[in-house]
A and B are shown apart, each in its own frame.
Chain A
Amino acid sequence: MDTGAVLPRKQADYICRDERYCLSMQRYKGQQYSQLYFFRLHTIRQNLLSRVQERWPSLPVCKILGLEEGQLCVVVGTLYKQMQLKPSILEEYSKERSVVPLATPNKFTHNDDYLIMEDESGRVKLIRDANLPSFYVTGVVVAVCGKEEKDGEFFVQEILEPGLPPQIPLPSAVSFDEEKFVVFASGLKIGGESTNPLELQLLLDHLTGHLGEEEEQSLSSQIVRVVIAGGSVDLQTSLSNGQPLSGREQTKLVEPIRELDLALTQLAAAMPVDIMPGPNDPANYSLPQQPLHRCLFPGASLYNTFVSATNPHQFELDGALFLGTSGQNIEDLEKYSEAEERLDFMERTLVWRHLAPTAPDTLGCYPFTDRDPFILEMCPHVYFCGNQPSYASRLLKGPSGQQVRLICIPSFQETSSVVLVSLKTWDSHILTFSANSFQP
């Protein structure tokens, strides 16, 4: 009889920190985005000014309107990137009517791009070497040191970024003497054509502790939480074309959600689950995406272990701060700036202290009037990003002792893998499922 005692699952204290991303108190009254930019500039400038004081104690900080030609000074403002390839609805309209073919590049960066800095008083074109524009995107708040030239352009000598936000030190290792893991999954794409339901089932069986012998189940018992970072369903949206749907089509349309509910029910019955909406999930489009409605999951929502979270999702586990998105912010940065790998984009958002600087310029965003929820006030310990093409991870260390584990969560549909992050060592590894190798 090998049916040993049932292993108890490890637990971790969980606190949801999604309040800042909730729109419950917001009422749209036709407001524009100006307040959002204003708050962003105002808030991040506070942080920048102290850094500017340290860096250039002798230089004056000027408004753009008060610039004087030839005088070395520091200007704090929001960057705007002038891009000739940036899609414009007006251009698309004119192209539609012309014979010029509609080019749809994946990236919109170009060598001729240049940066403009603006603050409350005005805007000025920044000039320096050509690399600069490809690094930054619209919406980033920085301080630049330099002087205005004859033709009214501002020659940049140095750029100062806000830097990593302060980090709460991890609680003393009391709770970390035993190994615990958090699982990050994304892009389950249930119902998609290329989705292999068997691999998903293997994942579920592994997580819920059905699969494997005792050794494997002991690994499973160390998993304290599963976070699903978007992309959970692949709805056949082509079915809904604005016309009334037949009953059969409706069933076909919602079937993936039923299956997701079934999967989540199995998960929630075994362990805590967070599910975040993603780019193609049945939630609002603009960030912050609000939690998937509970009525989508009549089965899973009965469990106290089921948490439907907002899209930028923030929570604490055993005192460690986790923050992540379903990938839209990084996806957008990839289009409008350049870096060697996805982790670099993630790192930049931390250094810029803004989760989604391209919102609302090229990324859908709710027009907040009282705050900019994407400003990072605290540095997370784990920063994850869903729906990435491949797994990547890096430990980022800040100047004042911050340590952030950056994780690109691969799409499960494409890679059949999920990411495990240890709460003890802050290492991460992936868990891969393969159901194809048994075929004859």
Chain B
Amino acid sequence: MADVLQDVGIRDQIQALVCDTLQVVSYKWLSRRFSVSSNTAKRILQEFAEQSKDDNIEVVYVVAGWTKNEPRNYSVQLVTQDRLQEARETLHGSPSSHVYSVQPCLPKDPAQLFAAEFVQAQELFKQPSDVNNCLRDNRFSGVSCSLVARCLGRVSSIIPKQHGAISATNQALSPPPLLAEASLDNKGPKPEVQAFQSAPAVPLGLPKIAGGVTLKEEPTTVTGLTGKGPVDSIASGNVSAGKRKAGAAGGEGSLASLWGKAPNQSSKPSAPKSSGPVKPITTAGDADRGIRAMEASVSEASSDDDVSGFGQRRGGQVMRSAGRKRQIVLDEDEEMSAKEEENPDSIECEEVVSLASPPSKSSPSVVAEEKSKENTKAKVHLPGPLTAAIDKERKISWNEKHADDPEKVEGLLEPSCAQPVENQILHEGKAEPSSVVSDKAPSGPKRKKVLRTRIDNRGREVTEVVWETDGVEEPHETKPASAKTVAQPAVVETKPITDKLAPSKAQRGPQQGASTKGSNKSAGKAAAKGPQQGKLDSFFKRKS
């Protein structure tokens, strides 16, 4: 009885599908849609066709049998109802025939018959490989094969998918990451960058990182800094996110959500962590947490193994974070060298990397002061991002500006930079360590490849790769800039626009500085610096 009732229900649905949505209902589609065997589906369709003969429904039959003429062939053909008998007669003996599909009208293109079924098959086919469905086990067929086995244990099959997903998410999310990166850069260029790097890059570039780990141990010391940096950055990112998402109970940090998206499992656990870190902005411990959270989210996103417990992670996080940082640092160094060699254009894809790498290079060569400056700059940025967080573009512009700023600032604005640093220190109890550490750590970015994304006057999103020089004076920047000169002017223009739009005035100062930089690059650094200093100062004053 249940079966009959079910059939009745299915028949009603077929009626709706065919008459209302004008869909072609084939027996195979039916069997997969309602999880009945193919043979049952044929019978249901048969009954449906008989019942609704008067309803202007076209029925396509499939006729199969041996041909009469020699050499004998087995023929399978699709025919309409009126030709059914004719087709049967051409075949030898009693050919088998059944309803293939019912539809409101006969399609001109026979392939239409199979469109819905094909879409359905593709959907089944696209399901994760560990899901067993009727397409994959052929369960509704009239013939079973005991020989068939699917080997799901294969890592290879699974990994590519994840990669794809991750990369896809990265792409999809790329704007947010940029923002995050930007904010990070502002605070503590290197560490933040690292964190970011690890996040997006880890999944794809694991091997590199692993190789890098052994190389340098300095990073460990850096960790403290990085921790702060990331924390700040996270905080800023979160804060900005917080503004948007503040209400969200889960409190998924924007970052977490971004990274978490790729792996479904990971996102959930990671989100809470990230949210936690968000709250504590300045505290070192908080910073560490933030880093951990970031890493956790990243790692979860990146690797399957990490999917395990949240708690476990926490325990191991410290170690991990340290290791990661090291890795990152190493990576940066490598990248640095690589970058120098590479053309700016080639690196477009690695937004994060590009940001991160410059600092590391510079750090060894650059003096502590520079680092401190950078840090200060970064910090300065922090407020900006925090306040401005809403606009990605802004942030980006900020970053750019900041990046530019450091260079300029370093040369002429050392005093001003120092002030900001102090301010920061005041703000953050840990600022000192960061500055101190910064000496050890590779902080001074000489050259950075920066991916700048902004929306231009026409409302199009423009992404450029730009070489920015930190630590060294503007000329370095100008070189790369000159290469991209065309793009840059546009940037300058856009920045002001964004500034105008941007609610926070604090940003403006830096942005203007950046814009001036762009314009000044070729012209005079000193001139550019002058205005910047003033702006920076004003910025800090406002802040304080």
Where the two chains meet, the residues of A that have a C-beta atom closer than 8 Å to any C-beta of B are 1-4, 6-9, 11, 196-198, 201-202, 205-206, 208-217, 219-221, 261-262, 265-266, 268-272, 295, 298-299, 301-305, 417, 420, 429-440
- Check A211 against B110 for contact (C-beta < 8 Å): no
Given A210-B28, A302-B129, A439-B110, CB of A6 within 8 Å of CB of B144: yes
- Check B114 against A197 for contact (C-beta < 8 Å): yes
Taking a contact as CB atoms closer than 8 A, the residue among A268, A302, A431, A439 that contacts B74 in the complex is A431
- Check B160 against A217 for contact (C-beta < 8 Å): no
* Nearest Cβ on chain A to B24's Cβ, whole angstroms: 11
* Nearest Cβ on chain A to B450's Cβ, whole angstroms: 23
* Nearest Cβ on chain A to B339's Cβ, whole angstroms: 22
| Interface presence of B96 (CB below 8 A) | yes
Tell me the complex Cα distance, A208–B37, Å: 13
Taking a contact as CB atoms closer than 8 A, the residue among B73, B110, B138 that contacts A196 in the complex is B110
Tell me the complex Cα distance, A2–B46, Å: 12
- Check B152 against A209 for contact (C-beta < 8 Å): no
- Check A4 against B122 for contact (C-beta < 8 Å): no
- Check B75 against A434 for contact (C-beta < 8 Å): yes
Consensus secondary structure, chain A interface: mixed
- Residues of chain B contacted by A11 (CB below 8 angstroms): 145-147
- Check A271 against B150 for contact (C-beta < 8 Å): no
* Nearest Cβ on chain B to A175's Cβ, whole angstroms: 15
Tell me the complex Cα distance, A431–B64, Å: 10
- Check B111 against A298 for contact (C-beta < 8 Å): no
Tell me the complex Cα distance, A378–B138, Å: 38
- Residues of chain B contacted by A430 (CB below 8 angstroms): 73-74
Taking a contact as CB atoms closer than 8 A, the residue among A8, A202, A269, A302 that contacts B76 in the complex is A202
- Check A440 against B74 for contact (C-beta < 8 Å): no
The chain B residue sitting closest to A207, CB to CB, is B143
- Residues of chain A contacted by B161 (CB below 8 angstroms): 298
Given A2-B39, A211-B64, A432-B76, CB of A268 within 8 Å of CB of B142: no
Of B77-85, B316-324, B451-459, which stretch is located at the interface?
B77-85
| Interface presence of B108 (CB below 8 A) | yes
Taking a contact as CB atoms closer than 8 A, the residue among B39, B61, B62, B121 that contacts A266 in the complex is B121
- Check B73 against A432 for contact (C-beta < 8 Å): yes
| Interface presence of B40 (CB below 8 A) | yes
Given A9-B145, A196-B110, A302-B129, CB of A269 within 8 Å of CB of B74: no
The chain A residue sitting closest to B36, CB to CB, is A3
Tell me the complex Cα distance, A88–B142, Å: 56
Tell me the complex Cα distance, A3–B44, Å: 11
Tell me the complex Cα distance, A169–B43, Å: 47
Taking a contact as CB atoms closer than 8 A, the residue among B77, B96, B113 that contacts A215 in the complex is B96
- Residues of chain A contacted by B160 (CB below 8 angstroms): 295, 298
**Sampled A-B contacts (24; CB under 8 Å):** A1-B43, A8-B146, A201-B114, A201-B118, A202-B78, A208-B143, A209-B38, A209-B142, A212-B98, A216-B76, A270-B138, A271-B147, A299-B125, A301-B157, A302-B150, A302-B157, A303-B150, A304-B147, A430-B74, A431-B73, A432-B74, A437-B79, A438-B78, A438-B79
- Residues of chain B contacted by A205 (CB below 8 angstroms): 28
Tell me the complex Cα distance, A3–B37, Å: 8
Tell me the complex Cα distance, A260–B135, Å: 14
Tell me the complex Cα distance, A233–B106, Å: 29
Tell me the complex Cα distance, A433–B136, Å: 24
* Nearest Cβ on chain A to B254's Cβ, whole angstroms: 26
- Check B96 against A212 for contact (C-beta < 8 Å): yes
Taking a contact as CB atoms closer than 8 A, the residue among B87, B110, B118 that contacts A436 in the complex is B110
- Check B138 against A305 for contact (C-beta < 8 Å): no
The chain A residue sitting closest to B43, CB to CB, is A2
- Check B150 against A7 for contact (C-beta < 8 Å): no
- Check B141 against A270 for contact (C-beta < 8 Å): yes
| Ranked 3 nearest A-B pairs via Cβ | A209-B143, A434-B77, A213-B96
The chain A residue sitting closest to B46, CB to CB, is A2
- Check B143 against A270 for contact (C-beta < 8 Å): yes
The chain B residue sitting closest to A213, CB to CB, is B96
Within 8 A of A (CB), among B488-540: none
Given A205-B28, A437-B83, CB of A6 within 8 Å of CB of B157: no
The chain B residue sitting closest to A199, CB to CB, is B110
Chain B CB within 10 A, most for which of A198, A202, A305: A198
- Check B141 against A198 for contact (C-beta < 8 Å): no
Tell me the complex Cα distance, A375–B274, Å: 67
| Interface presence of B137 (CB below 8 A) | yes
* Nearest Cβ on chain A to B90's Cβ, whole angstroms: 10
- Residues of chain A contacted by B122 (CB below 8 angstroms): 262
Tell me the complex Cα distance, A266–B32, Å: 13
- Check A434 against B76 for contact (C-beta < 8 Å): yes
- Check A440 against B148 for contact (C-beta < 8 Å): no
| Interface presence of B542 (CB below 8 A) | no
- Check B148 against A210 for contact (C-beta < 8 Å): no
Tell me the complex Cα distance, A202–B43, Å: 18
* Nearest Cβ on chain B to A3's Cβ, whole angstroms: 5
Tell me the complex Cα distance, A242–B149, Å: 40
Taking a contact as CB atoms closer than 8 A, the residue among B43, B80, B141, B150 that contacts A438 in the complex is B80
- Check B77 against A437 for contact (C-beta < 8 Å): yes
Taking a contact as CB atoms closer than 8 A, the residue among B129, B140, B148 that contacts A304 in the complex is B148
- Check A435 against B143 for contact (C-beta < 8 Å): no
Tell me the complex Cα distance, A210–B138, Å: 9
The chain A residue sitting closest to B101, CB to CB, is A438
The chain A residue sitting closest to B31, CB to CB, is A210
Q: Mark B86-117, 1 if CB is under 8 A from A, else 0.
A: 01000000001110000000101011011001
| Interface presence of B5 (CB below 8 A) | no
- Check A3 against B43 for contact (C-beta < 8 Å): yes
Tell me the complex Cα distance, A295–B156, Å: 9
The chain B residue sitting closest to A201, CB to CB, is B114
- Residues of chain B contacted by A301 (CB below 8 angstroms): 157
- Check B73 against A265 for contact (C-beta < 8 Å): no
Taking a contact as CB atoms closer than 8 A, the residue among A9, A210, A295, A299 that contacts B140 in the complex is A210
- Check B145 against A210 for contact (C-beta < 8 Å): no
- Residues of chain B contacted by A213 (CB below 8 angstroms): 96-98
Tell me the complex Cα distance, A196–B114, Å: 10
| Interface presence of B53 (CB below 8 A) | no
The chain A residue sitting closest to B73, CB to CB, is A430
- Residues of chain A contacted by B142 (CB below 8 angstroms): 6-7, 209-210, 212, 214, 217, 220
Given A209-B143, A302-B151, A438-B110, CB of A429 within 8 Å of CB of B72: yes
Tell me the complex Cα distance, A433–B63, Å: 10
Tell me the complex Cα distance, A404–B377, Å: 83
Given A212-B62, A215-B96, CB of A6 within 8 Å of CB of B143: yes
Tell me the complex Cα distance, A347–B504, Å: 85
The chain A residue sitting closest to B141, CB to CB, is A209
Given A302-B152, A439-B110, CB of A417 within 8 Å of CB of B138: no
Tell me the complex Cα distance, A4–B37, Å: 10
| Interface presence of B247 (CB below 8 A) | no
The chain B residue sitting closest to A393, CB to CB, is B71
- Check A265 against B79 for contact (C-beta < 8 Å): no
| Interface presence of B154 (CB below 8 A) | yes
The chain A residue sitting closest to B37, CB to CB, is A3
- Check B143 against A7 for contact (C-beta < 8 Å): yes
- Residues of chain B contacted by A4 (CB below 8 angstroms): 39
18 further interface pairs, Cβ-Cβ under 8 Å (given A205-B28, A209-B143)? A8-B143, A8-B144, A9-B144, A9-B147, A206-B64, A210-B31, A211-B64, A212-B64, A220-B142, A269-B150, A302-B129, A303-B149, A303-B150, A304-B147, A304-B151, A417-B73, A435-B77, A439-B106
- Residues of chain B contacted by A304 (CB below 8 angstroms): 147-151
| Interface presence of B60 (CB below 8 A) | yes
- Residues of chain A contacted by B145 (CB below 8 angstroms): 8-9, 11, 270-271, 305
* Nearest Cβ on chain B to A304's Cβ, whole angstroms: 5
- Check A303 against B148 for contact (C-beta < 8 Å): yes
The chain A residue sitting closest to B122, CB to CB, is A262
- Residues of chain A contacted by B111 (CB below 8 angstroms): 196-198
Chain A CB within 10 A, most for which of B27, B117, B145: B145
The chain A residue sitting closest to B106, CB to CB, is A440
The chain B residue sitting closest to A215, CB to CB, is B96
The chain B residue sitting closest to A269, CB to CB, is B138
The chain B residue sitting closest to A266, CB to CB, is B135
